Structure 1
Amino acid sequence: MASLAPSETSSKGIDFESSNPQRTAKIEDSKTKDPSIAQREKETDGAKRLLRRQVYILFAAVFVSTFLMALNGSIIATAIPKITTHFNSLEDIGWYGSAYLVATCALQPLVGRVYTHFPTKHTYVMFTSIVSVGALVCATAGSSKALIIGRAVQGCGGAGVINGAFAIIAAAASKEDRPLFIGIAVSLTSIGTIVGPLVGGALTQDVSWRRCFYINLPLSGLVICAFLLLPIPEQVKKQPVRSNLKAIITKELDLVGFTIFAPACVMFLLAMIWGGNQYRWNPSVIIGLFCGALGAFIMFAAWEVFKGEKAMIPPALARNRLVVFGCFTSFLQVGALLSLSYDLPIWFQVVKDESPVMSGVMVLPTAIAQAIGSIMAGKLVQVIGYCTPWALFGCVLTSIGSGLMTTFAPSTGAGPWIGYQILTGTGRGSVVQMPITAIQNFLPAKEVSIATSQVFFWQYLGGSVFLAISETIFTNTLRSSLKTYAPGVNPESIIEVGACAVRSSVPGDELDGVLRAYNHAVVSTFYLAVGASTAAFLTSIGMGFQRLSKKESKEKPKENDV
């Protein structure tokens, strides 16, 4: 099996075509004079075809794994009612989703360091195997606690798989092709996030909720086999692990920084997840978590400054303008649009009286538009060479689409809600990939994995923060709207019965008022997406307007500090 030589792929990616027509003509002419040259040329073409097939398989495996990770994050949403009934564990309902999110966020910065110093191939296989182990634990769980542990294990593996996918794209794809491949990967994560609840609902309804986890095993197995059989290029030269393992672990991974950062991240996320749900925002539990997180983050920042370039998040990289504004853009845009993806199904199920599975079908315009928008934006960046204009364009589309969604009413027809989703989804597809594309093209190779992990961390953090804010807006608005539109019902009783039981729990003469109150509450959360997308427009400008070079530059990019 042919191999990918690191010296050829570490900086230039994989190039199959010869761009010198004069050289091609000379070779063709020499073939007629010397048959041995023609024979060697034939063997070379065969090797190139083999290499091309290997690369296609490699990227197919990468794309499957990114889709699976996005699917894992959302597939459980529609299966949770069945799971809580099976285990009689209503008090654990929040942990089924948050265990995955918290583990992924806490591990992201460390993952960037791991990919910087350990072989990409074996690291990726290890994280994919961890995801498979977590899925197996969930699928065979005999208790609610075992399921939560399995979700946390899945989250730990998912942090490495997502980061590793883009590290492989950066190493194996040429600079010209990276924007397109990043666009495809981002589009698949968008599709996985959107269709996850639909797939989970279908499996739970027709087979078993355990199939939501078993589905991971055969696909992950294929990915692992592909990576074990294929050569994986490295973007930077790495030290031999066997002879330098102790030095890498003690000096390069910054495990002290990780032991400070992880509890800080967990405390902050738990405060955001529990606030307004298990606890109100002002009790000592929430305040204590926020204070503990703040203190730990201050300690972490001081330690990182002390460690310097050996820190888990090097201070110089944390001050880089592209990284800072790219993270802010991801935080705002992904957080706002994730809240939209959670609130839209509520609007379909309550206001439009659709089933959970049908509501999943009705948000497919968002997923399809995101996929098309991501691929188109990646291709346009590949051709034109600029990232920031497409991020700005995506923010504009998202602001317009989410702004139009604030006009939703119980009488809104299919045309508007399909069209507005297409606008919003196309915008998200255009903007979300741009920070990653810019980082992979403008930063030194040794900083790419660490910077990429920061982008993903801020994406997940944005999701948790905006979902918490969105839920608070929804609950408070629903209480006040019920007093206006349905003064004869008890607001607390409407909130407690949940979205699925509203129509069966409300008297007929009050139902119209309750639906109008629900509509107003859901629409109010859309304003959050409008504001965040507008702010993301401003942070996108901060990323700068550098142009992707058509040829690989040997000069180290200049660093722009904030």
Structure 2
Amino acid sequence: MSDTALYFLSRGETDAKGSTTDTKVDTAELPHETVDYASSDEYCLTTTRFFLVFIAFSVSFSLIALDQTILSTALATVASDFSAVSDITWIASAYFLPQAGLMLFFGRLLSISRPKAIFVVSILLFEAGSLICAVSPSADVLIFGRAFAGVGAAGLWICIMSVFARVSTLKQRPLLLGAMGAIYAVCTVAGPIIGGALTDKATWRWCFWINLPCGGVAVVLVLLFLPNLPPAERGTSMREQWKRLDYIGAILSIAFVTTLLIPLQWGGNVKPWNDPAVIALLVVSVILIAIFAAWEYRQGSQAILPLSMVVSRNMPGACIEGFLLNLCFVIANYYLPLFYQVKGQSPTHSGIDILPFMLSGVIASFVCGGLVAATGHVWPSLFGPTLLGSVAGGLLFTVSSTTSTATLIGYQILLGVGLGCAIQNTTVVAQAQYAASPHLVSQATSLVTFMQLLGSSLSLAISSAIFSGRLTAKLNAISPPLPQAVKDAVRESVSSVFTLPDTLRLPVMGAYVAAVDGVFLIIVGGAACASLTALLLISRSKVTVGLALSA
């Protein structure tokens, strides 16, 4: 039996003599069985080495998360420096597109390669992209650098999660993934604050310069203290496996992600939804998804997305819940600060105002990770807290410009706890299901992460369309009618609200708050659906640590 094996034991069956015997269950399904994770010490690290590797991974993961949001408060300055207002969307999305498009490919690559080598190459790509951004003389070069860094970020993300599965037991993993979830939450919220401060006090280029020394520290720690783990999939030469890599699948993945996300970002913002370019790209994306699915079916075990994962009981549930939770998280992370800005706070201060949401999510992530590790039950953290998140979204829908600070803090805490408890445990489910097949762990992890990134990317496309529509409707409903110039200015920037005379400012503020409130309804539905999706998962299974068993 493999050194790293997951046994699914039934509660016991009584034979003809009345004795109870344990029965092994197919590893593809985990409906109601006890999950016993057996891990050898072959790749376990000493406490000191594990701590140093964890520091390296934490630093790397922080850089990935920071780069997702650090430019959000600096984009106006960047666009002004390069006279490239029309390129703002590309500057923001260039980092996400290769991440989502290459996530599945890196998952497959990690199953046939040494993780240490993939980590080093990925962080060097990320650092090279950061350097290109820092010295970029034009918007085009900046966009290229962001895309280059996004390739490295995809490899780093999957590598970190997959290595944790190799050097830790299943009991330790909820704590580790909870820590990564906490780091992600902190950094995505802190990104705009740090980016704004660097832009105000120095230059936006420091948003990228800071990556270089931090990434250098991570590389050194990994080279010194991470074991050179062998590929999870063995049996044929590495050269042969590299020849058989699903390169066409990777190209199709990048293509359908790009043609899907770009029109969703354009629609209702850069271009109207009925624009021919938006419609054409959406149609092309559907065609490419169909071609991708057919190709992956043909590739079989060599596919970057084995279709057996798609039809298994647990993976669809983990993927859909991961998608929905990240969609809710990004919407809250974006529109809670906007709500505070409508009330008159600066962009930097509005980031501070959502600290209750961030801190409660961080604490909940750690606490739930500890509870899963202590009790072995992961399903409750994926079902109950998400219902709480749905309730919190409903409460946020009721807020107004006069809602007290204490009430807003309470609602934020409820939402942070609801999302924080569950958001990383979808990865635990994926890694638990395939722990008996180590060569599939990285691909299972990449599939869940891909869906999480897709949820993050689609969240703003969906929410901005709803926000823009509601804001326009509310502004049009104000009596007496507002001048068109005022409507255009208000839709362009929330700061223009405070340049209006008192007779106009209050109704316009009310329209803005009502538009933001409408977006919170997405969280109500998304979190509720995430809770229902948990019913597809491991319902009453228990994850426990056992001794390594031999065949």
TM-score, normalization: structure 2?
0.89
Q: How far did 1:392 drift?
A: 0.9
Query: Residue 429 in 1 paired to residue 420 in 2?
Result: yes
Tell me which of 439, 444, 461 is aligned to 1:446. Answer: 439
Query: Residue 321 in 1 paired to residue 316 in 2?
Result: no
8 Å Cα contact 1:474/1:521 also seen in 2:
yes
| Residues 553 and 473 (structure 1), Cα distance of their counterparts in 2 relative to 1, 3 Å cut | farther
Query: Residue 297 in 1 paired to residue 289 in 2?
Result: yes
What SS is found at the alignment partner of 1:77? coil
8 Å Cα contact 1:333/1:428 also seen in 2:
yes
Q: Distance in 2 between matches of 1:64 and 1:486?
A: 53
Q: Distance in 1 between matches of 2:111 and 2:197?
A: 40
Q: How far did 1:495 drift?
A: 4.2
What SS is found at the alignment partner of 2:204? coil
Structure 2: which amino acid aligns with 1:286? V
Tell me which of 495, 498, 518 is aligned to 1:501. Answer: 495
Matching residue of 2:513:
519
Tell me which of 103, 119, 124 is aligned to 2:119. Answer: 124
| Residues 495 and 413 (structure 1), Cα distance of their counterparts in 2 relative to 1, 3 Å cut | farther
Matching residue of 1:17:
none
Q: Distance in 2 between matches of 1:298 and 1:555?
A: 43
8 Å Cα contact 1:268/1:293 also seen in 2:
yes
Q: Distance in 2 between matches of 1:11 and 1:387?
A: 19
Taking the TM superposition and a 5 Å limit, the aligned residue runs for 1:18-417 are 51-232=46-227, 234=229, 237-239=232-234, 244-251=237-244, 253-350=245-342, 352-417=343-408
What SS is found at the alignment partner of 1:208? coil
Q: Distance in 2 between matches of 1:64 and 1:289?
A: 37
Q: Distance in 2 between matches of 1:493 and 1:168?
A: 54
| Residues 208 and 486 (structure 1), Cα distance of their counterparts in 2 relative to 1, 3 Å cut | farther
| Residues 307 and 353 (structure 1), Cα distance of their counterparts in 2 relative to 1, 3 Å cut | same
Q: Distance in 1 between matches of 2:227 and 2:483?
A: 61
Moved more, 507-516 or 224-233: 224-233
Matching residue of 1:20:
none
Instruction: Give unpaired runs (5+ residues) of structure 2.
Output: 7-42
| Residues 555 and 382 (structure 1), Cα distance of their counterparts in 2 relative to 1, 3 Å cut | farther
Q: How far did 1:493 drift?
A: 4.3
What SS is found at the alignment partner of 1:548? strand
Q: How far did 1:489 drift?
A: 1.4
Q: How far did 1:438 drift?
A: 1.5
| Residues 495 and 163 (structure 1), Cα distance of their counterparts in 2 relative to 1, 3 Å cut | farther
8 Å Cα contact 2:182/2:361 also seen in 1:
yes
Matching residue of 1:45:
none
Q: How far did 1:206 drift?
A: 1.3
Q: Distance in 1 between matches of 2:471 and 2:247?
A: 45
- Cα offsets for 1:95-133 (capped at 9, x unmatched): 121111111111111010111111000101111111111
- Cα offsets for 1:380-423 (capped at 9, x unmatched): 00011111111112202211211111111111121011111111
Matching residue of 1:489:
482
Q: How far did 1:295 drift?
A: 0.8
Structure 2: which amino acid aligns with 1:482? L
Q: Distance in 2 between matches of 1:541 and 1:316?
A: 20
Q: Distance in 2 between matches of 1:71 and 1:237?
A: 30
Q: How far did 1:503 drift?
A: 2.6
Q: How far did 1:230 drift?
A: 1.5
- Cα offsets for 1:144-201 (capped at 9, x unmatched): 1111111111111111111111111111112221111111111111111111111111
Q: How far did 1:486 drift?
A: 4.9
Identical positions, percent: 30
8 Å Cα contact 2:233/2:439 also seen in 1:
no
Q: Which has the higher helix share?
A: 1
Structure 1: which amino acid aligns with 2:341? Q
Structure 2: which amino acid aligns with 1:527? L
- Cα offsets for 1:11-33 (capped at 9, x unmatched): 69xxxxxxxxxxxxxxxxxxxxx
8 Å Cα contact 1:393/1:430 also seen in 2:
no
| Residues 552 and 474 (structure 1), Cα distance of their counterparts in 2 relative to 1, 3 Å cut | farther
| Residues 491 and 427 (structure 1), Cα distance of their counterparts in 2 relative to 1, 3 Å cut | farther
Q: How far did 1:320 drift?
A: 1.5
Instruction: Give unpaired runs (5+ residues) of structure 1.
Output: 1-6, 13-47, 557-562
Matching residue of 2:472:
479
Structure 2: which amino acid aligns with 1:441? A
- Cα offsets for 1:437-464 (capped at 9, x unmatched): 1222221222111011111111111122
| Residues 402 and 290 (structure 1), Cα distance of their counterparts in 2 relative to 1, 3 Å cut | same
- Cα offsets for 1:482-504 (capped at 9, x unmatched): 12235431467434453343234
Q: Distance in 2 between matches of 1:87 and 1:372?
A: 41
Q: Distance in 2 between matches of 1:390 and 1:49?
A: 27
What SS is found at the alignment partner of 1:431? coil
Structure 1: which amino acid aligns with 2:279? I
8 Å Cα contact 1:120/1:232 also seen in 2:
no
Q: Distance in 1 between matches of 2:64 and 2:130?
A: 11
Structure 1: which amino acid aligns with 2:328? A
8 Å Cα contact 1:349/1:499 also seen in 2:
no
What SS is found at the alignment partner of 1:129? helix
Q: How many residues align?
A: 510
8 Å Cα contact 1:486/1:510 also seen in 2:
no
What SS is found at the alignment partner of 1:105? helix
